[in-house]
Amino acid sequence: MADGILVVAEHLGGKLSDITFEMLGKAKALSGAGGDVTVLLIAGDASMAAELGAADTVAIVEGDGLADFNPESYGAALGAAVEAKSPRLVMVGYTAMGMDLASTLAVKRNLPHATFCLDVAIGDSITATSQCYGGKINVTTDLGAGPCVVSMLAGAAPADAGRAEGTPSTESLPAPASAGKIRFKRLIEPEAGDVDITAQEILVAVGRGIGSKDDIEVAEDLAEELDAAVAGSRPLIDAGWLPKTRQVGKSGLKVAPKLYLALGISGAPEHIEGMKSSATIVAVNSDKQAPIFNFAHYGMVADLFDVCEELTEALQERKG
């Protein structure tokens, strides 16, 4: 039977992502039942490997076409690593990169694959708990004895658990023979906006519950009284109601203000990944089942317009 756990590391600009440490911490907790933990580091370097002290082994793949993420070449590298290591469980982040890699690996090797995973357990069989319908339902899937693939949601486990000190052994794995047909050209980063939301101590964030572009003015009025900036979830940015530089989430910016006021935001995993590190999260939503309440420190089931108007008036009276 296959044994061990293989964690696929993610990095950008020379920096390992939080999801890597989240998965590594979870894998280490499972290692008693699942064997040794190996981190697959594609196109990484020694400094990155040194950060992965919680792993038993760091397997590094280097070669042409791997300097920047490419789904074909990275997918081939992952497939070769699975062939060489024969892990019982492969853990991949449910991210833009991970979605390319995990599904391709599962299909090509005919492996069971669970996505949107909040948790995974190893016993006689491997079970995964997945989030469905925006977090309103959790489903547990029996993936069999292994091998299998799980795509872990960002924030499902604490990153600190994977940042343990240690000196894992390192090994080199062969790069794929061909880079494939896809070629990486360049990384296009968004232009700087009028406000850097990552530097704000207070953010007033709005979601689809705001209703219309004109109604964002209510949040702007509150933000002005709080000396804060307005941010938004992806649907508002996609609709053109706020600029891309105000987007919080996996495909936007990660923020960690002292206060994050979430107005009409449901709490989809994509958004949670971008604001989960906020010191204090206050959520206002008319849907008492909204997943945002699972992450908020304080929550109110109410109409966001009523709350905004009352808070704005109270702050104005306090200022005199």
- Angstrom CA distances, 170 to 6, 10, 41, 214, stand at 14, 17, 10, 56
Q: Which residues of 249-268 are buried (b: 16+ CB within 10 A; e: fewer)?
A: bbbbbbbebebbbbbbbbbb
Angle between the 216-226 and 304-319 helix axes, to the nearest 10 degrees? 30
User: Tokens representing 217?
Assistant: 């003015």
CB of 61 closer than 8 Å to CB of 41 = yes
- Measured from the Cβ of residue 16, the count of other Cβ atoms closer than 10 Å reads 23
* Coil, strand or helix at 167: coil
- Measured from the Cβ of residue 215, the count of other Cβ atoms closer than 10 Å reads 17
Domains and CATH numbers, the chain: 5-173 (3.40.50.620), 197-319 (3.40.50.1220)
Order across the sheet with 37-42: list the strands: 137-142, 126-132, 113-122, 148-152, 89-93, 5-8, 37-42, 57-61, 169-173
For the chain, the straight-line distance linking the first and the last C-alpha, in angstroms and rounded, comes to 72
Residues of the chain predicted below pLDDT 70: 1-2, 33-34, 134-135, 178-179, 189-193, 320
Q: Quick: pLDDT tens for 303-318.
A: 999 999 999 999 988 8
Backbone angles phi, psi at 159, to 5 degrees: -70, -30
Where does residue 220 rank: exposed (0-12), middle (13-18), buried (19+ CB within 10 A)?
Answer: middle
* Coil, strand or helix at 90: strand
DSSP 250-319: TTSB----SEEEEES----HHHHHHHTT-SEEEEEES-TT-GGGGT-SEEEES-HHHHHHHHHHHHHHHH
Report how far Cα 121 is from the mean position of its chain's Cα atoms.
20
DSSP letter assigned to residue 194: S
